[in-house]
């Protein structure tokens, strides 16, 4: 592709042609980033072109992606999710990414990985997942009849397991955590020469995640937000969103960049710790933690795209904040009340982070903030039920029912 120069290693910065590397840096084994020729992209797409483009989905930004076999794209509607303005808090917006086909942000990444797998004539896609990446590639795979195999912790919420099975993936429930599933997946992928979709290992996933940044800017009529809040597990969503803003900036679609906030549960906070450590020492290093958060999608011991996430925070002059699991759960209800949007715990985490920084006076009143709500609440109803009072059943008797209702209104 004329628009793509090749790969650059996130750690050692060595550059490679697309034919010289597959997933990771051949020299140091770290993650790769795809490097573009922005002058070539600028020849193909402008803000004006977008004004005349009536296909409102992630493919409207096709020239920013490292794939050109768009004829293979799934027919599903991916991206252009709603951006809702708060009615209570001036300048707060949420991006409801639970509205994607498999009900999470991950469909943006799966779409690009799927096209890459088809282009490379892979017979099968394999991935390890906390639940959403798997259900996403299972969904998209089903739409183009691509066989999918997913290793998933047996503890994943039922709805995510149900999605995997309904979409016809080969599901391998692992009696272990996500990190173990991830390592096993790497081994199986190599042995069978299957396409590996693993988040934070496959450089193509980040490229699909950029689309969220493109949409935020276009939906705000190219006014760049001051802050973007993102919940973080492996760190691939935040690094992808940062790349999206960076691409737009270098193609002169926007004239400044936002500050990114990595929001984590205090019970899975490797990136928060790495950023705190960086502030003290200026050393870039992400250490393993022991993740126990109930926000299953961001429960990660070893963030697989940790370094790219850390750089996204630093380069954007952003920050990281940790919130308690209780704050995350409360925010599921907060978002439902304020926006009528149902978020899964990891989806609500970004807004919990916004509330925390606002309470700490880190955000000025006139600053525009976007929180990305990355997954739909129907994926984990037991977490939602834990913050509401579930009424006991009552007898089917009209007077008892009326009395019951009147006591509550």
Residues lying near ligand PLP in the complex (CB under 6 A) = 104-106, 130, 132-133, 199, 231-237, 297-298, 344, 346-347, 374-375
- Please list the residues that pair with 16 across neighbouring strands: 7
Specify whether the CB–CB gap between 184 and 162 falls below 8 A.
Answer: no
Closer to ligand PLP by CB, 134 or 258: give it.
134
27 lines the binding site for Zn ion (CB under 5 A): yes
The minimum distance between CB 129 and Zn ion, in angstroms, equals 26
CB of 49 to ligand PLP, least distance (A): 30
CA distances from 28 to 11, 31, 239, 285 (A): 8, 9, 20, 15
Of 25 and 159, CB closest to Zn ion: 25
* 170-174 sheet: strands from edge to edge: 170-174, 148-153, 125-128, 195-196
Which class for 284: exposed (0-12), middle (13-18), buried (19 or more C-beta within 10 A)? middle
Q: Is 313 in the site for Zn ion (CB under 5 A)?
A: no
Closer to ligand PLP by Cβ: residue 235 or 353: 235
Q: What are the start-end ranges of the H helices in 222-324?
A: 236-250, 270-281, 306-315
Among Zn ion, ligand PLP, none, what does residue 346 contact (CB within 5–8 Å per kind)? ligand PLP
Residue 20 engages Zn ion in binding (rule: CB under 5 A): no
Q: Residue 231: beta bridge partners?
A: 263
CB of 374 to ligand PLP, least distance (A): 3
Number of residues that bind Zn ion (CB under 5 A): 7
Q: Which residue has the tokens 């396409």?
A: 195
Which of 12, 70, 162, 385 binds Zn ion (CB under 5 A)? It is: 12
Rounded to whole angstroms, the maximal C-alpha distance in the chain is 76
**Interacting residue with Zn ion among 9, 137, 212, 270 (CB under 5 A):** 9
Q: Report the C-alpha gap between 163 and 106 in whole angstroms.
A: 14
Please identify, using beta-carbon distances, which residue of 3 and 350 lies nearer to ligand PLP. Answer: 350
Residue number with CB closer to Zn ion (12 or 378): 12
Which partner in Zn ion, ligand PLP, none is near 208 (CB below 5 to 8 A by kind)? none
Q: Output DSSP code: residue 29.
A: -
C-alpha to C-alpha distance for 401 and 407, rounded to whole angstroms: 10
9 binds, among ligand PLP, Zn ion, none (CB under 5 to 8 A by kind): Zn ion
Centroid of chain to Cα 283: 26
Please choose which of ligand PLP, Zn ion, none residue 13 contacts, taking the beta carbon within 5 to 8 angstroms, the exact cut-off set by kind. none
Tell me the closest approach of the beta carbon of residue 32 to ligand PLP, in angstroms.
16
Contacts with Zn ion by CB under 5 A lie at 9, 11-12, 25, 27-28, 30
């Amino acid at each position: 592709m004329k628009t793509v120069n090749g790969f650059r290693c996130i750690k050692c910065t060595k550059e490679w042609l697309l034919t010289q590397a597959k997933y990771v840096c051949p020299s140091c084994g770290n993650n790769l980033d795809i490097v573009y020729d922005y002058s070539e992209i600028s020849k193909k797409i402008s803000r004006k072109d977008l004004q005349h483009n009536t296909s409102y989905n992630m493919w409207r930004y096709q020239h920013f992606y490292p794939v050109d076999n768009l004829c293979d794209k799934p027919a599903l509607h991916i991206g252009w999710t709603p951006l809702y303005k708060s009615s209570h808090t001036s300048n707060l917006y949420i991006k409801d990414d639970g509205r994607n086909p498999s009900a999470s942000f991950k469909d943006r990444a799966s779409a690009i990985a799927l096209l890459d797998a088809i282009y490379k004539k892979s017979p099968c896609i394999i991935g390890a997942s906390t639940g959403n990446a798997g259900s996403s590639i299972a969904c998209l795979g089903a739409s183009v009849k691509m066989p999918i195999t997913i290793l998933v912790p047996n503890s994943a919420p039922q709805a995510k397991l149900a999605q995997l099975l309904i979409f016809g993936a080969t599901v391998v429930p692992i009696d272990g955590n996500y990190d173990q599933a991830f390592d096993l997946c790497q081994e199986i992928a190599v042995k069978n020469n299957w396409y590996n979709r693993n988040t934070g290992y496959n450089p193509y996933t980040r490229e699909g995640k950029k689309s969220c940044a493109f949409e935020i800017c276009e939906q705000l009529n190219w006014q760049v937000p001051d802050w973007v809040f993102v919940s973080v597990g492996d760190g691939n969503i935040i690094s992808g969103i940062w790349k999206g803003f960076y691409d737009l900036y270098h193609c002169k679609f926007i004239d400044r960049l936002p500050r990114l906030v990595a929001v984590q549960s205090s019970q899975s906070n490797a990136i928060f710790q790495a950023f705190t450590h960086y502030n003290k020492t200026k050393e870039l290093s992400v250490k393993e933690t022991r993740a126990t958060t109930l926000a299953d999608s961001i429960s990660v011991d070893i963030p697989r795209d940790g370094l790219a996430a850390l750089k996204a925070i630093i380069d954007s002059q952003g920050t990281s904040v940790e919130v308690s699991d209780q704050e995350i759960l409360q925010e599921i209800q907060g978002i439902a009340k304020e926006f009528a949007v149902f978020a899964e715990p990891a989806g609500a985490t970004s807004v919990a982070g916004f509330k925390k920084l606002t309470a700490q006076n880190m955000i000025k009143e006139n600053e525009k903030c976007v929180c990305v709500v990355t997954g739909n609440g129907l994926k984990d109803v037991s977490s939602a039920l834990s913050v509401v009072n579930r009424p006991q059943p009552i007898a089917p008797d009209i007077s008892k029912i009326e009395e019951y209702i009147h006591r509550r209104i």
